[in-house]
Amino acid sequence: MISVRAVKTGSIRIRPSHRAGRMDHPVWRRRLDMLRDRAWTEPLPIYTYLVEHPEGLFLFDSGETARTATKGFFPWWHPFFKLGVDIHVAPDDEIGPRLRTLGIDPDADLRAVVLSHLHHDHADGLHNFENTRIVVGDENWRASRGLRGTISGALPKHWPSWFDPERIAFAGPQAGPFARTHPITADGRIFAVETPGHMLGHLSVVVRADDTTYFLAGDATYDEKLLCDRVVDGASYDVATSLATLDAIAEFSRAEPTVLLPAHDPLAEERLAEKRPLHA
């Protein structure tokens, strides 16, 4: 029996031009659009996903921390953090307390934590998992370190000192439109695929359950409608790369019924409950 559960770690508001960039603007202008935008989206969930598999429990992403509300948490000099995000995470919303509520000891009961990418709202919960296997795409790891990583929206200064994740290159077999994969479980029913565009080396996780397939998309797309409409987020480093990722997910879902589960899609939990597949 393989099952997937959404675990919400608070919410985030972003600029509408960040959620959906203008498709007729080049990358530099889309980034400027985000900084000039004065509107907010509705509060968007910050989801992690917990997968139960015969080999154990697997967590996808680690969510956001309540400490973002403390002064100096975000680098003062970075306009994106100053202008572009409005985060609401209470201490009890963090992944540690959320897992404990489910009867799970965060640092003892998980087989692995897999991270889509190291942006703050996916990696700020890492301190809960000192003794747990943590898996990150090698390219994303390299893009997230140091000043370059901070400029790209990661917060390496908050990574725990022990943080030394297992960094994967993709050498596993092809899965439909995804030329290379990386198996997470020995039986191959949970595997990672490359979904670049939102950030260098971004990955998604495919879970082949008995009755349907789940696509844990991280920020490969912010929601299902954007994917179907082929609209790319304003943060993307390359619109063509992001579009190729959206098209690959759509193509994958045409070959097998696939429930799309992005990190910030307000309808993800409802689709998950109904196992409603993507029609793209």
* 223 is an interface residue for Zn ion by CB under 5 A: no
* 219 is an interface residue for Zn ion by CB under 5 A: yes
In whole angstroms, the minimum distance from the beta carbon of 255 to Zn ion comes to 27
* 120 is an interface residue for Zn ion by CB under 5 A: no
Kind and range of the H or E element at 87?
strand 85-88
Q: Which residue has the tokens 């009755």?
A: 211
Query: DSSP H helical segments within the chain, as ranges?
Result: 16-19, 27-36, 79-83, 95-101, 120-123, 138-144, 146-151, 224-229, 239-255, 268-274
Of the ranges 105-113, 155-163, 172-180, 211-219, which one interacts with Zn ion (CB under 5 A)?
Answer: 211-219
Of the ranges 126-134, 171-179, 182-190, 212-220, which one interacts with Zn ion (CB under 5 A)?
Answer: 212-220
One-letter amino acid of 128: N
Classified as helix, coil or strand, 274 is: helix
Alpha-carbon span 200 to 148, nearest angstrom? 12
In whole angstroms, the minimum distance from the beta carbon of 262 to Zn ion comes to 10
In whole angstroms, the minimum distance from the beta carbon of 117 to Zn ion comes to 6
Using the minimum distance from each CB to Zn ion, give the nearer residue, 74 or 209: 74
Taking CB positions, which residue lies at the least distance from Zn ion?
A: 119
Query: 47-59: string of b/e by CB count within 10 Å (b at 16+)?
Result: bbbbbebeeebbb
In whole angstroms, the minimum distance from the beta carbon of 9 to Zn ion comes to 14
In whole angstroms, the minimum distance from the beta carbon of 119 to Zn ion comes to 3
Using the minimum distance from each CB to Zn ion, give the nearer residue, 209 or 260: 260
Alpha-carbon span 14 to 219, nearest angstrom? 13
Supply the DSSP symbol for 277: P
Using the minimum distance from each CB to Zn ion, give the nearer residue, 119 or 127: 119
Using the minimum distance from each CB to Zn ion, give the nearer residue, 158 or 275: 158
Contact call for residues 272 and 209 (beta carbons, < 8 A): no
- Binder of Zn ion out of 15, 31, 53, 119 (CB under 5 A): 119
Task: Summarize as ranges the residues that interact with Zn ion (CB under 5 A).
Answer: 119, 219
